[in-house]
Amino acid sequence: MKIRLYLLTLFAASQWALGQEIGDYISKYTAENGKGYMQPLADVFGADLNSGLFQGGRLPQVGFHLTIGVKGVTAKIGDDLRTFKATTEEPFSPTQTEKVPTIFGKNEAVAVTGVGGTVYNFPGGFDMDMMPLVIPQATIGTLLGTEATVRYFMANLGEDIGDLKLAGIGVRHSISQYLPLLPIDLSVGYFTQKFSVGEVVEAQAVYYGAQVGKTWGLFCLYGGAGYESTEVTVAYEQEKDVESSRVSFDMKSEDQLRFTVGVGLNLVILKIHVDYNLASPKTLCAGIGFGW
Amino acid sequence: MKRVILLIAVLTASAWLSSCESRRFQFVATLNRTVDFAVDHSGPFKTVRTITAAQIRNNLNVPEGSTIKRVDIEALSIVPETKAGNEATEVKVRGTIKDQGHEVELFKETSIHLTTGVDVGYGVRVPLQKLVDLGISALKTKINDHVSRLNDADIEINLYGTTLPAGKRLLMTVHFDIKATVLYEKCIDTPNFFGGEKCEEGEED
């Protein structure tokens, strides 16, 4: 059996994509086990994507500004994302359930024994504690207290994999413009992103919530509360002898609560911010941008 | 000055994240091999099929430079496929594997119910429960020999059977499925945030 599955991460400015064949990790799995093995990747990837979408709360009613930059995000992979309960698949007998590694778990296969000296091996993971992502982003505004955020990246990873695409758009609208006596900046925002790798990976992440901020000269303190959802589909060809069939997993993380707290520094054209996101999983995001 | 320090910090972090190093990972490759025994008999029968080393290696696709750690047999099963003209309602089969010139029992007699008349075609998969340790061990060793390139001798599987009712014509294909796994280690280049044991310089990746 030969399955090709490419795990792709966007990381670092000079190396945007890593195409790593992990077919032999997941080739054991075809259904529920595959979902359990890969679900943490959807959770972590979604948490990464939904980070760094906003900085600060102030949105003037009118006034042109444009910032182009990159966001570096890393999600902390906790113990809860490193194992899952998997059940042996037919025709192995007798059926057994074991706590085994997810894609982020220990790089050690777990073996269970069956009838007549048979053994079922659950594959190990990549033994990862964190998953970083670098995302290009541009923000433009404001019109009627509204700014738009765009994320876009595309690269061809060759015939075997296809195109890697990231496209996202979001809007943030000032609420504090209607409440002149409010001592802080208040806004609401909605962001949606799509990520795909050829016909292998398709992901969609959505975030919506409220943001607050307070600015003192060059510094600003900001925070936010919102909900995020991620849907990831992983599909690949599973080969058996000369035949092959398409296997796909749909993984969803719906309406997860996310709190953000961060600080920003606005040095004329250089804009820097760092924020911490209490989500599942937690992420740390740093951004650097140039604009006016 | 602060801006320069900040830029250096960002570039250093990016460089760290983007740099790769060779790390050793354990993989599980799965073998799914079907051996087809075409049967057209009335009464007891014996059929023989072989699996070549090339078939095993192509199916597993273990990369060059890997270190084989273990081979395990996960399951053996049979999918019956009756043909038009089949009159038998049941077949009892047992299997052996040729090991060092001798036949070693792989699974004991197992009864498979068949369809006749217009309902011919693929039946339900029958996981083989009556496996014999010695035969499983021999099959495991031969797959290991193939994948490790120690001995490329064919694997010979013998299928013995009897039909019920006695004397009725059995016209079918026995699809004998072997599912096995190979645990192997290989050094691959990964970013720094991946786990795995660091490979020594010169280890193949």
Confidence class for position A240, pLDDT limits 50, 70, 90: low
Q: Which of B13, B29, B193 sits opposite A27 (nearest CB)?
A: B29
CA distance B115 to B83: 9
Looking at CA atoms only, how far is residue B153 from chain A in angstroms? 20
pLDDT in the model for residue A4: 36
pLDDT digits (tens, 9 = 90+) for B87-134: 999 999 999 999 988 999 999 999 999 876 766 788 889 999 999 999
Instruction: Check CB contact under 8 Å for A126 and B177.
Output: no
Residue B148 has a CB neighbour count (10 Å cut-off) of: 15
Q: Do A1 and B30 touch (CB under 8 A)?
A: yes
Nearest CA in chain B to A94: B129
Is B183 in contact with A15 (Cβ distance < 8 A)? no
The structural domain count of chain A equals 1
Q: Flag if A28 and B33 touch (Cβ within 8 Å).
A: no
Rounded to 10 degrees, what is the CA torsion of B149, B151, B154, B157? -100
The helix (H) or strand (E) run that includes residue B5 is helix B2-18
What are the pLDDT digits (tens) for B114-127? Answer: 876 766 788 889 99
**Per-residue pLDDT at A16:** 31
CB pairs under 8 A between A and B: 144
Q: Do A12 and B18 touch (CB under 8 A)?
A: yes
Window 118-137 of A, Cβ < 8 Å to B: 118-124, 126-132, 134
Q: What percent of chain B has pLDDT over 70?
A: 87
Q: Residue A20 contacts by C-beta under 8 Å, 6 or more apart in sequence?
A: A6, A7, A8, B188, B190
Residues of B in contact with A123 (CB under 8 A): 26-28
Closest chain B residue to A9, measured at CA? B191
Give me the DSSP letters along B161-203.
Answer: EEEESTT-EEEEEEEEEEEEEEEEEEEEEEETTS-SEEPPTT-
Distance separating alpha carbons of residues B4 and A220, to the nearest angstrom: 21
What Å distances lie between residue A25 and A124, A126, B195, CA to CA?
A: 7, 9, 14
Interface test with B, best of A48, A107, A122, A245 (most B CBs within 10 A): A107
Total number of residues shown for chain A: 292
pLDDT at A238 over 70: no
* pLDDT of B96: 97
A97–chain B nearest CA distance, Å: 15
Q: Which position has the token pair 């698949």?
A: A89
Residue ranges of domains in chain B: 2-198
Using CB atoms, which residue from B10, B181, B195 is nearest to A126? B195
User: Pick from B14, B75, B133: which is nearest to A93 by CB?
Assistant: B75
A1 found inside a domain:
no
Query: Which residues are CB-neighbours of B190 under 8 A, at least 6 positions away?
Result: A18, A20, A126, B20, B21, B23, B25, B196
Residue B1 pLDDT class (50, 70, 90 cuts): very low
Q: Which of B14, B129, B195 lies nearest to residue A13, judging by beta carbons? A: B14
Which residue(s) pair with B36 in the sheet?
B175
Inside any domain, residue A26 = yes
DSSP state of A241: T
Binary contact (B193, A131; C-beta < 8 A): yes
Residue A237 inside a domain? The answer is yes
CA atoms of A59 and B100, how far apart (whole Å): 81
When CB atoms are compared, the residue of A1, A11, A122 closest to B191 is: A11
pLDDT at A257 over 50: yes
Indicate the residue of B31, B136, B195 with minimum beta-carbon distance to A127.
Answer: B195
Tell me: the pLDDT tens digits for A74-130?
Answer: 999 999 999 999 999 989 999 999 999 998 999 999 999 999 899 999 999 989 988
Question: Does A19 have pLDDT greater than 80?
Answer: no
Is the pLDDT confidence value at A43 over 90? no
Looking at A3-7, A205-209, B68-72, B159-163, which range is the least confident one? A3-7
The mean predicted confidence, pLDDT, of chain A is 84
Q: Is B68 on the interface with A (CB under 8 A)?
A: no
B9 touches chain A (CB under 8 A): no
pLDDT(A10) > 80: no
DSSP conformation class of A242: T
Among A260, A207, A285, residue whose Cα is nearest residue A48: A285
Structure tokens at A282: 């937690």
- Predicted pLDDT at A252: 84
A208 inside domain = yes
For chain A, say whether B75 makes contact (Cβ under 8 Å). Answer: yes
CB contact residues (below 8 A), chain A span 16-35, against chain B: 18, 20, 24-25, 27-28
- As a whole number of angstroms, the distance between CA A250 and CA A34 comes to 10
Cβ <8 Å between B127 and A90: yes
Structural domain harbouring A107:
6-291
Provide the chain B residues 143-182 that lie in CB contact (below 8 A) with chain A.
Answer: 177, 179, 181
Beta strands in chain B (DSSP E): 20-42, 45-51, 67-82, 90-99, 102-113, 121-122, 126-127, 155-164, 169-191, 197-198
pLDDT of residue A195: 87
CB A116 within 8 A of CB B132: yes
Residue B157 to residue B135: CA distance in whole angstroms: 10
pLDDT in tens, B136-154: 999 999 999 999 999 999 9
What pLDDT, on the 0 to 100 scale, is given for residue B18? 55
What are the residues facing B33 on neighbouring strands?
B178
